[in-house]
């Protein structure tokens, strides 16, 4: 059977979404058509490319090998089209980034906007969720994490270190009992993560303060920060977020200063994608500069 190049595009979409419906939505086709096209490609190649599981469509060993080749072909075709259109060197298409909500809310919008200003045909999606992303299931093209992963077929790059400190609203501090040391925190309400929903040990900030309970708890950094701004109590805040919330001040900076690291993670099979590689370089350099700029303002 003759190989149809357009079926490769559909194959890539199913592999990335791990479902016929997800691929159909992205391609604006109906799922039945997507399924038929995948079957046609399997007949042309004479190998099964997917196995159906409760989790969706999973690549077989042959499918994974073909995915690597298809990715390279897709990149070559994109570069060829850009060259003919006089857009060589410009990024285009959709890129999805998964990130913890602190980074997603206070860093990624301005950094990605700057990249998109230089690459107007690029579409960036930011998925802000307080959990670890599964790149194997193609939930995102790349993810930002606060811990370096130790398992899985992943490519990991360090982005930058960042600082966190105890903070409270100035209005709260004016009406509260004096805070001269960490032991004084016991007399104040604490804002922080829901203890049993801390999805990464690097986010267990309050254990370093000696606080034994959280009075205002959320799995969202933004909710915590808004509670602090509203005068609910004292919590740990990213230094890079403080310029966005006037009225909040750092406290006890000499007694407690935390440092964490952001890591950029990509699936190992995407390492040959020049497009994602170039975007990653721009994203990392942009995040480093933005963290340094914002922290200098605190």
**Alpha-carbon torsion (135, 139, 144, 146), positive or negative:** negative
226 and 142 in a single domain? The answer is no
At which of 44, 67, 84 does a domain end?
84
pLDDT mean over 192-212: 80
203 and 125 in a single domain? The answer is no
Range of the domain at 15: 5-84
- Percentage, residues of the chain above pLDDT 90: 50
Confidence of residue 55 (pLDDT cuts 50, 70, 90): confident
179 and 225 in a single domain? The answer is yes
155 and 171 in a single domain? The answer is no
For the chain, state the CA radius of gyration: 23
At which of 46, 67, 84 does a domain end?
84
The string over 85-105, giving b where at least 16 C-beta atoms fall within 10 Å of a residue's C-beta and e elsewhere, is eeeeeebbeebbbbbbbbbbb
Selected residue with higher pLDDT from 214 and 206: 214
How would you class 150 by CB atoms within 10 Å of its CB: exposed for 0-12, middle for 13-18, buried for 19 or more?
Answer: exposed
Distance, CA of 108 to CA of 110 (rounded, Å): 6
66 and 202 in a single domain? The answer is no
178 and 137 in a single domain? The answer is no
Task: Return all residues near 201 (Cβ < 8 A) that are at least 6 apart.
Answer: 147
Q: What is the pLDDT of residues 227-262, one digit of tens each?
A: 999 999 999 999 999 999 999 999 999 999 999 999
The string over 257-285, giving b where at least 16 C-beta atoms fall within 10 Å of a residue's C-beta and e elsewhere, is ebebebbbbbbebbeebebbeebbebbbe
**Alpha-carbon torsion (222, 223, 224, 228), positive or negative:** positive
Partnered with residue 89 across adjacent β-strands are none
What is the CATH classification number for the domain harbouring 280? 3.40.190.10
Q: What is the pLDDT of residues 77-113, one digit of tens each?
A: 766 665 665 555 678 888 989 999 899 999 999 999 9
- Percentage, residues of the chain above pLDDT 70: 89
pLDDT of residue 269: 60
Structure tokens at 215: 């009075």
In contact, 155 and 281? CB cutoff 8 Å: no
Distance, CA of 52 to CA of 30 (rounded, Å): 18
pLDDT of residue 115: 95
Confidence of residue 272 (pLDDT cuts 50, 70, 90): low
Q: What is the pTM of this model?
A: 0.72
139 and 167 in a single domain? The answer is no
253 and 166 in a single domain? The answer is yes
150 and 180 in a single domain? The answer is no
pLDDT mean over 3-7: 83
Q: What is the pLDDT of residues 123-169, one digit of tens each?
A: 999 998 755 555 545 567 899 999 888 776 778 899 999 999 999 99
What is the CATH classification number for the domain harbouring 41? 1.10.10.10
Distance, CA of 208 to CA of 196 (rounded, Å): 17
pLDDT of residue 87: 53
Give the chain's domain count: 3
Task: Return all residues near 189 (Cβ < 8 A) that are at least 6 apart.
Answer: 215, 216, 232, 233, 234
pLDDT mean over 259-267: 91
The string over 6-17, giving b where at least 16 C-beta atoms fall within 10 Å of a residue's C-beta and e elsewhere, is ebbbbbbbbbbb
């Amino acid at each position: 059977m003759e190989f149809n190049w357009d079926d490769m595009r559909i194959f890539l979409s199913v592999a990335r979404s791990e479902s016929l419906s997800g691929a159909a939505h992205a391609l604006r086709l109906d799922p039945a058509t997507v399924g038929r096209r995948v079957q046609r490609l399997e007949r042309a190649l004479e190998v099964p490319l997917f196995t159906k599981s409760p989790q969706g469509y999973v690549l077989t060993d042959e499918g994974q090998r073909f995915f690597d080749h298809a990715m390279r072909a897709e990149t070559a075709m994109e570069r060829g089209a850009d060259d003919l259109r006089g857009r060589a060197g410009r990024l285009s298409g959709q890129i999805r980034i998964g990130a913890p909500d602190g980074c997603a809310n206070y860093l990624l919008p301005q950094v990605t906007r700057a990249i998109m200003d230089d690459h107007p045909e690029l579409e960036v999606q930011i998925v802000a969720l307080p959990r670890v992303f599964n790149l194997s299931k193609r939930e995102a093209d790349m993810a930002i994490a606060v811990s370096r992963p130790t398992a899985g077929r992943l490519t990991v790059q360090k982005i930058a270190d960042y600082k966190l400190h105890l903070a409270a609203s100035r209005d709260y501090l004016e009406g509260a009992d004096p805070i001269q040391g960490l032991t004084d925190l016991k007399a104040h309400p604490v804002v922080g993560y829901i203890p049993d929903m801390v999805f990464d040990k690097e986010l267990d900030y309050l254990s370093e303060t000696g606080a034994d309970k959280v009075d205002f708890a959320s799995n969202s950094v933004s909710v915590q920060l808004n509670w602090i701004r509203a005068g609910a109590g004292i919590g740990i805040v990213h230094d890079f977020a403080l310029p966005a919330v006037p009225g909040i001040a750092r406290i006890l900076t000499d007694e407690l200063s935390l440092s964490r690291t952001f890591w950029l993670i990509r699936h190992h099979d995407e390492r040959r994608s020049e497009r994602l590689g170039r975007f990653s370089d721009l994203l990392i350099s942009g995040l480093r500069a933005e963290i340094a700029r914002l922290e200098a303002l605190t």
